[in-house]
Amino acid sequence: MNLDNPDGGHRAIVAHIVGTGIHQGKTLADARSDIYQEILAGQANDKLVGCDYTPDTSTQNGGTIDWSYSIVDACFEGVNCPQPVVAPAGTRHNTCEQSCKNGDPNCLVADLRSAPSNLQTSLGNFESDLLSVQNFPAYVDTSDLVKFVNQINGDMNCTRDPFNILDASGHFENGGGSCDFAVKTTGASPVVYQISFPGKWTGTFAKLGNAYVVVSPDDSHNPSFEIISTGETDPINEVDGDSQKMLFSGAKYYCALVKMSH
Domain boundaries, position 35 = 2-76
Q: Is residue 88 part of a domain?
A: no
Do 69 and 136 have their domain in common? no
Q: 156 and 32, same structural domain?
A: no
- Specify whether 151 is located in the same domain as 24: no
pLDDT tens column, 78-94: 555 555 444 444 466 78
pLDDT for position 212 = 96
Q: Is 42 helix (H, G, I), strand (E, B) or coil?
A: coil
The pLDDT of residue 262: 57
Of 26, 42, 76, the last residue of a domain is 76
- Same-domain pairing of 106 and 31: no
SS3 content of the chain, % helix, strand, coil (to 5): 15, 45, 45
pLDDT at 126: 94
Highest mean pLDDT among 9-18, 40-49, 84-93: 9-18
Q: How far apart are CA 186 and CA 191, in angstroms?
A: 8
Please give the radius of gyration of the chain, using alpha carbons only, rounded to the nearest integer: 22
Is 15 found in the same domain as 141? no
Residue 50 counted as domain residue: yes
Percentage of residues in the chain with pLDDT exceeding 90?
A: 40
Residues 64 and 183 in one domain: no
For residues 60 and 72, the model is more confident at 72
Q: Are residues 19 and 127 in the same domain?
A: no
Q: Band the pLDDT of 30: cuts 50, 70, 90.
A: low
Q: What is the reported pLDDT for 137? A: 96
Angle of helix 143-153 relative to helix 117-131, nearest 10 degrees, comes to: 160
Question: Are 71 and 108 within one domain?
Answer: no
Rounded to an integer, the average pLDDT of 132-146 is 95
Average per-residue pLDDT in the chain? 79
Identify whether residues 159 and 215 lie together within a single domain: yes
For the chain, the domain total comes to 2
Domain assignment of residue 234, yes or no: yes
Segment 181-195, tens digit of pLDDT: 998 888 777 888 899
Domain-embedded: residue 111: yes
Residues 140 and 237 in one domain: yes
Q: Say what the pTM is.
A: 0.67
Q: Are residues 68 and 102 in the same domain?
A: no
Pairing of strands 10-23, 64-76: antiparallel
Rounded to whole angstroms, the Cα distance separating 202 from 170 reads 11
26 and 101 assigned to the same domain: no
